Chains A and B, each alone.
Chain A
Amino acid sequence: MLKSTLKYLGSLRCTIWLLVALIAVFSIGFFLPQRSVVGKAAYLKWQASAPLLARIDQTLQLTDIFTAPVTLVIWGLFFLNLLLVMKQRIPLVLAKVQVDPEKALQRHGLGPFSYSVQLAEGDRERIPAALAAQGYQVHGDADRFFAIKNRRSPLATLVFHLSFFLLLIGWLISFYSRFTGFVDVSEHEPFLGELARYNAAPKLPKSGGGAPEVKFLVESVRPEVSQGVATGIKIVLKDEAGATHQVDINEPYKTGYASVLFNDLGISPLFVLQDASGREIDGAYVKLDVLKGKRDHFRMQAYDVAAWYYPDHVVTDGKDATRSEEFKNPAFHLEVTRDGKAVASGTVHPGEAVLLDNGLRLGFKEQNFWVRLLVTKEYGREFIYAGFMLALVALIWRLVYYRREITGVVRETAGGKVLELGARGDFYQALAKDEFDRTVAALTRRS
């Protein structure tokens, strides 16, 4: 039973079924909302809109299909199949690579293509040399030879399968060593890598360990917006040694195996509370999530302040609005309450203030930015890159530089000496014939 199961698991038919099974589970993952992809809010919304379907999906773990047991089992079987196929194939491939010219010559005439070339004086010696010039390895002598091109090409099959294992190892190392955490840092604010500074629940490595030792100061943040499109963001970080590093979208700051990526942008204005004499009694850079029309709020002393932001402020029909998403004329609309009672409201540009009760003023001193940075650290990339490279090399090696074999036997006929050629190539029929026709024509021309 076990033997027959292993035999089936090592079969190429099983490979096909496993590929079909993977395509099926990935299709489920494509069409059904996946919790890891759609985000919590969207997932809960979908759950509320289709509760029965959501319950069925959850029970069967279809909404986490990529990590569901059924998927892991299919992946496990896939790699077991690869392993068993490799085990079976290794001796066959090695035997195929270590060609025995004599055995090949015994098959002479059995190949799909055969040619006869009438030999003239001196051709006999020239033809093997001409084949060698075309990249064939020629074994034997001028009367009986075996020529082979891309002899080692079958090895690429093994290399291709090996590349999957490298990718698997890389993925496993990466999965168990991976740290991810988001941290919000304002301009001129340092980050010393403390775990407590990360936003809620950073993902710690499953293999143990804490946050990576990534320390920097955010020197400046310069978002670039053109025609309403975010075209870039220039974030300058200064590390412990005083060296500066620029982070942009697609350009993370990399230190060792850790990366710091830009994730989100917010406004970090300096608000100050002044008394009637102009003395500052409180003040802070507050991190506000107010871009794209969102409302945020902060508290200063006894005051609750709701804030709306206009990057390119304009008043249209008596209402605050923004002309564009470019930060050309920033302004805040503030609504201030104390103990639930409205105290004041107004729109302020940098340097302006809203008059509160008791002669106090809430001033908007300057505008800075804060950035949400994604800090990641994982090992295993060497295996992943090596896997990618080997897979590509193997595909090209096996499918482009495929193997061609030619056997040649000189026979004496009434009309003189005739070279009988037999040819075979991997994978192709008509196209291989074209190639052999050209090869033989070239040999004939030479003769």
Chain B
Amino acid sequence: MAYYEAICFWLSLVIYALAAGGYIYALVFRNEKVVPKLLVLIGIGLAVHTGAVAARYFAQGHFPWSTDYENGLMGGWFIIASTLFVAWRQKSLRVFAVATVPTTMLIMGYGVMRNPTLAPMAATLKSFWLAIHVFFAWLSFGAYVLAMAAGVIYLLKERAAARGTASADDRFADLSPERLDDLMFKYLVFGFITNAIMIAAGSIWAKDLWGAYWSWDPVETWSLISWLMYGAAIHLRVTMGWRGTRFSWLMIGALLTVIINFFGVSILMKSSVHVFKMS
């Protein structure tokens, strides 16, 4: 890690931790008035986080997008940016941070425990198609995390209603269950389309790098599994009418496939061509 990158990275993590704590407080003590302030805190966290990305960029001379640490750094940035973007577009969606901020902390924390060493960009990663591939990968990841967050909020509302502690409309009053249900599907659709672009761009890149569009490499295989999983979710929604609770759990469970794809493959597999060796 570069000096300023380390400062910004840990500072952003501390800020996110404070924000996550604030959200837990808001949830447990039913004090949703603090949420706007927490969002400002997350905004400051994102600015510092951007500083970490920039410091790494200047130290290495390329965008961080190859190792587990860099995946965590950039992935976290996209998730927080998506959270702030949807909250800016629609105030009622500010509560999504209750799920997205802890997710970001986990993936950043996992990444920093792996390999934050600075390194020049391996030749295999110098490709226009890779830039498209990675950009859309992060967009889809951000969207799937938002779909998961909508699912979590849906279930929280539903649980509150079931316990009789509050009606479904009392918790996160600005968000009706129907709206959350639609939002899950909307983010799923966005994620699915960007995921498809990610796979297509990766396939074209693979042709120039390894000589074949598709080699059933573990990362390719798992990304297809993930895409099929979300494709099945669209089918279940559109043709079988899966909604509400079932669909929420589906969005939460399906995110596991994406997390495995981004972070798990390099642990589980030693033979993936996507584990880019530095020599």
Contact = CB atoms under 8 A, between A and B. Distances in A.
Contacts of B207: 259
A23 interface: yes
B216 A34 contact: yes
B176 A427 contact: no
A30 B235 contact: no
Interface string A24-47: 001101110110111100100000
Interface stretch (B20-28, B34-42, B161-169, B190-198): B190-198
A27 B225 CA distance: 7
Contacts of A400: 189, 193
Nearest to B278: A229
Contacts of A29: 216, 221
B178 A430 contact: yes
A230 interface: yes
Contacts of B221: 26, 29-30
A384 interface: yes
B81 interface: no
Given A250-B209, A431-B179, A12 B240 contact: yes
A19 B278 contact: no
Interface stretch (A136-144, A211-219, A220-228): A220-228
Contacts of A251: 208
A407 interface: no
B177 to A, nearest CB: 9
A129 to B, nearest CB: 30
Interface in A368-413: 374, 376, 384, 388, 391-392, 395-396, 399-400
B228 A23 contact: yes
Interface string B176-192: 10110111011001001
A207 interface: no
Interface in B142-162: none
Contact of A12 (B185, B205, B229, B239): B239
A231 interface: yes
A16 B123 contact: no
B186 A431 contact: yes
Nearest to B188: A399
Given A230-B279, A261-B211, A374-B211, A250 B123 contact: yes
Contact of A395 (B196, B210, B225): B196
A255 to B, nearest CB: 14
Contacts of A259: 207-208, 211
Contacts of A392: 193, 196-197, 200
A252 B206 CA distance: 11
Nearest to B218: A30
B271 A37 contact: yes
Contact of B271 (A39, A325, A428): A39
Contacts of A180: 211
A13 B239 CA distance: 9
B192 A395 contact: yes
Contacts of A192: none
Contacts of B232: 16, 19-20, 23
B33 interface: no
Nearest to A249: B123
B212 interface: yes
A222 to B, nearest CB: 12
B245 interface: no
A261 B205 CA distance: 12
A339 B151 CA distance: 75
B44 interface: no
Given A30-B218, A229-B279, A250-B205, A396 B193 contact: yes
Contacts of A248: 123, 126
Given A16-B240, A430-B176, A249 B124 contact: yes
Size band of the interface chain A makes with B: 35 or more
A391 B199 CA distance: 12
B189 A399 contact: yes
A19 B120 contact: no
B235 A230 contact: no
Instruction: Say whether chain B's binding surface is mostly helix, strand, loop, or mixed.
Output: helix
Contact of A15 (B181, B212, B235): B235
B185 A233 contact: no
Given A19-B228, A23-B225, A228 B278 contact: yes
B109 interface: no
B256 interface: no
B211 A376 contact: yes
A38 to B, nearest CB: 5
B252 interface: no
Interface in B224-256: 224-225, 228-229, 231-232, 234-236, 238-240
Given A392-B193, A428-B185, A227 B119 contact: yes
A66 interface: yes
B183 A431 contact: yes
A227 B279 contact: no
B224 A26 contact: yes
A407 B160 CA distance: 39
A224 B126 CA distance: 13
B115 interface: no
B122 interface: yes
Contacts of A374: 211
Contact of A231 (B122, B178, B216): B122
Nearest to B203: A388
A22 interface: yes
A30 B231 CA distance: 19
A13 B236 CA distance: 9
Nearest to A28: B221
Given A16-B235, A430-B178, A430-B181, A232 B126 contact: yes
A261 B211 CA distance: 7
Nearest to A11: B239
Given A12-B240, A249-B126, A250-B205, 15 more contacts: A12-B239, A15-B235, A19-B232, A30-B218, A30-B225, A30-B268, A42-B271, A259-B207, A261-B209, A374-B211, A384-B213, A400-B189, A429-B178, A430-B178, A431-B183
8 contacts: A16-B240, A23-B225, A26-B222, A27-B225, A227-B119, A259-B208, A391-B196, A395-B192
Interface of B: 119-124, 126-127, 130, 176, 178-179, 181-183, 185-186, 189, 192-193, 196-197, 200, 203, 205, 207-213, 215-218, 221-222, 224-225, 228-229, 231-232, 234-236, 238-240, 268-269, 271, 278-279
Top 8 A-B pairs ranked by shortest CB distance? A249-B123, A430-B179, A430-B178, A388-B200, A12-B239, A250-B127, A19-B232, A431-B182
